[in-house]
Structure 1
Amino acid sequence: MTLSSYMWPVRKVTRQTAGSVTLSLDTGGSNFYYQPGQYVNLTATIGGVDYQRSYSLSSVCGVHPFPELTIKRIPGGTVSNFLVEQAREGMLLKIDGPLGNFILPAERSGSFVFIATGSGIAPLLPMIHTLLLGENAVVTLLLGNRSVAEIIFHTELDRLQKQFSGRFTVSHALSGESPLPRGISGTTGRLAAGWIQHTLDKRMPGGIPEAFYFLCGVPAMMENISAALLRLGVPETQVYREDFDPAATPAIPPLQHERREVLFFFEDSVRLLEVEGGSTILTAALAAGVPLNHSCDNGSCGACRATRTSGSVTMNRNLALTPEQLLAGDVLLCQSVPVTGDVTIEVDRWQ
């Protein structure tokens, strides 16, 4: 996997709701392939300072002519407020990616259930669109918001529901409206496990455990719904989550090991890094002048992914690597603390 960087202007700004926008990016003909559900790291210059954030791609590669990002305003959020209020055509943005393992499985027939709150719909919409363009998937979307006015992609979801009647159903949970407005199917209140089970019981001819589930939104919601699905017999391997909030996944306290040496292969060079006790391999590599790709530095984006070929490390947090990647020896350098003195890292495979 190669992480590519681009400087692209915004070609169009579409306001989705009062607090959200979709930015269409002019790739200038660059070959930019991405899968439904992936995201990019966006760097915006605000007041002379560069700020980097992760945003999901809300378009479908090969269907939409340009990649699109959908951003919702976060109270106090420097970048989200700037983009929602001031994004304009021609604004230059640095884009790194695509990134992420929150993608559809190879087998795309059967039942798929998507559960989201707020802007969590952004990575789910291209997945839904992709499945509906096929012929075999039956798709259910359970979407939580405060009000109808805050439903991102409301018009597009209605259009898809009409176009794919019988294969695509949307149910809303609106916490700030009672009774439900006319024409809205669902319930008042939040996305609750009981309501989700009741709704799915009516729509899942093969049974709830047979479907694939994709969750994106408020961390507490994803925790509660994931636990409920497991209790209902859904295999853990059929529940996918997108975690963009590092605070929702507590970090393991850094281990206070003594200084360790790490044999570090980067492209065609090899170095012996001195990693201070409790420090990460990324910190040591950057201090040694190694020009590594890195972005979030909190274990969520995967830009600093590398391969451990020997020795033992502890990762303080991991929101980017799959169990299969961990078994293959992949690590996140921004979170990896060497435990033994025989650690070897190879980076040239991924950078």
Structure 2
Amino acid sequence: MTTTVPRRPQKASFRTRLLRLAETVTTPLLPEDYLDLVAPLRSGTALRGRIVAVRPETRDAATVVIQPGRGWRGHLPGQYVRLGVDVDGVRQWRAYSLTSVPDSQDGRITVTVKAIPDGKVSNHLVRRVRPGTIVQLDQAQGDFTLPAAAPERVLFLTAGSGITPVMAMLRAGLADRADVVLVHSAPTRDAVIFGAELRALAESGGLRLVERHTDVEGVLGVDELAALVPDHLDREAWACGPVGMLDAVEGYWSANGLADRLHTERFRPTVISPGEGGTVTFTGSGVTVEADGATPILDAGENAGVLMPSGCRMGICFGCVVPLRQGAVRDLRNGDLTTAVPGDGVLVQTCVSAAAGTCDIEL
């Protein structure tokens, strides 16, 4: 006969018991929530960064210095990072070029932001954010970078904040390895981001700098490049700036059969035109519905058979928050618009948000 002896329950470890006790006294928060307050940059958590300083560059641009958390894997000059910034209680995601050299001694990274009219995040970062603020981070992305072996001759065509990814390349010592020409457009001399640094680099022989001040000289046309840089088509070229400029540059290089020698960076190619109501696509479910401007997205999704997370249905508990991948929604409580282009991943409350044009919801 076989006798079965009941297994004696193992005692929980001291650490496990301590955590259980902590959970009982911190409910409804968990101990991890308090750790986020005292050590937000620790390893093993979502990647974050702490803003260390904000340095003005021009009247409407500033460099934001960030100490990233331990999970940061570094970047290449020319890449960008997506920041998640809490503005008026709503987390917004935006992509900004990294302007710091890789692997700096202090481990810090920088992005340089130009405030744009009605830009919720850019104006917040340039004018309102304070040192000590915690931001969310993604890992560096983008292929607007130099090859491992830099070309002998390089041409940069930039305008406005399009100088930011190029500045990282210059700071990383490109001028020591290549013959560099930079053609940069800005409304005025004072509006040139990194103007003093660029001019000093040019004076030292590090590059040839051509400035175009558009308020006085007008917008630079691609047909003017031959006079400004006679060998421009013989150089490997990188261009970053407004959509109209990039369209013209791409057309010009293609017409000359040299499209493979041109590299461009486009951050926000999509234009959002808010309206009243529109087509809502639930990307994970593959469901598309037409919704009017008064119907919460939560209701529109449920009526179409989409499994929607929800809670109080009053905009209080945040149980219905999901990413808006692109498009526009309107807050039914106050009429505020929230817009996103691909890559933003802005979070919205579906129970109090209605379609304000075509929008894609990640569900």
The alignment's TM-score, normalised by the length of structure 2, stands at: 0.62
Residue of structure 2 in register with 1:176 after alignment:
215
Residues 288 and 110 (structure 1), Cα distance of their counterparts in 2 relative to 1, 3 Å cut: farther
Residue of structure 2 in register with 1:229 after alignment:
253
The CA deviation at 1:214 is 1.0
The within-5 A match list for 1:228-307 is 228-233=252-257, 235-247=258-270, 275-276=286-287, 297=326, 300-301=342-343
Residue of structure 2 in register with 1:198 after alignment:
227
Q: Say if 1:9 and 1:25, in contact at 8 Å, map to a contact too.
A: yes
Counterpart of 1:53 (choices 60, 72, 94) is 94
Question: Aligned with 1:8: secondary structure?
Answer: strand
Structure 2, unpaired ranges of 5+: 1-44, 274-278, 291-300, 310-321, 327-339, 346-359
Residues 92 and 275 (structure 1), Cα distance of their counterparts in 2 relative to 1, 3 Å cut: same
RMSD over equivalenced CA pairs, Å? 3.4
Q: Which amino acid aligns with 1:222?
A: L
Q: Say if 2:93 and 2:344, in contact at 8 Å, map to a contact too.
A: no
The within-5 A match list for 1:304-319 is none
Structure 1, unpaired ranges of 5+: 178-187, 251-255, 263-272, 304-333, 337-351
Residues 274 and 22 (structure 1), Cα distance of their counterparts in 2 relative to 1, 3 Å cut: closer
Q: Say if 1:53 and 1:296, in contact at 8 Å, map to a contact too.
A: no
Q: Say if 1:37 and 1:124, in contact at 8 Å, map to a contact too.
A: yes
The CA deviation at 1:35 is 0.8
Q: Which amino acid aligns with 2:254?
A: L
Query: Between Structure 1 and Structure 2, whose CA radius of gyration is higher?
Result: 2
Residues 335 and 47 (structure 1), Cα distance of their counterparts in 2 relative to 1, 3 Å cut: closer
The CA deviation at 1:82 is 1.1
Residue of structure 2 in register with 1:100 after alignment:
142
Residues 89 and 45 (structure 1), Cα distance of their counterparts in 2 relative to 1, 3 Å cut: same
Residues 45 and 213 (structure 1), Cα distance of their counterparts in 2 relative to 1, 3 Å cut: same
Q: Which amino acid aligns with 2:256?
A: L
Q: Say if 1:52 and 1:295, in contact at 8 Å, map to a contact too.
A: no
Residues 17 and 134 (structure 1), Cα distance of their counterparts in 2 relative to 1, 3 Å cut: same
Residue of structure 2 in register with 1:307 after alignment:
none
Distance 2:185 2:214 in 1: 8
Residue of structure 2 in register with 1:19 after alignment:
60
Q: How many residues align?
A: 258
Counterpart of 1:34 (choices 75, 84, 92) is 75
Distance 1:249 1:44 in 2: 21
Q: Which amino acid aligns with 1:89?
A: P
Residue of structure 2 in register with 1:185 after alignment:
none
Distance 2:265 2:342 in 1: 10
Residues 175 and 64 (structure 1), Cα distance of their counterparts in 2 relative to 1, 3 Å cut: farther
The CA deviation at 1:87 is 1.9
Counterpart of 2:191 (choices 150, 161, 178) is 150
Question: Aligned with 1:247: secondary structure?
Answer: coil
Distance 1:245 1:59 in 2: 22
Counterpart of 2:132 (choices 90, 96, 103) is 90
The alignment's TM-score, normalised by the length of structure 1, stands at: 0.64
Residues 158 and 295 (structure 1), Cα distance of their counterparts in 2 relative to 1, 3 Å cut: farther
- Is 1:216 paired with 2:216? no
Distance 2:323 2:176 in 1: 36
Residue of structure 2 in register with 1:117 after alignment:
159
Q: Say if 1:243 and 1:300, in contact at 8 Å, map to a contact too.
A: no
Residues 176 and 274 (structure 1), Cα distance of their counterparts in 2 relative to 1, 3 Å cut: closer
The CA deviation at 1:246 is 2.7
Residue of structure 2 in register with 1:71 after alignment:
113
Higher RCO, Cα 8 Å, sep 6+: 1
Residues 107 and 25 (structure 1), Cα distance of their counterparts in 2 relative to 1, 3 Å cut: same
Question: Aligned with 1:26: secondary structure?
Answer: strand
Q: Say if 1:246 and 1:300, in contact at 8 Å, map to a contact too.
A: no
Q: Say if 2:78 and 2:142, in contact at 8 Å, map to a contact too.
A: yes
The CA deviation at 1:192 is 1.2
Distance 1:107 1:115 in 2: 20
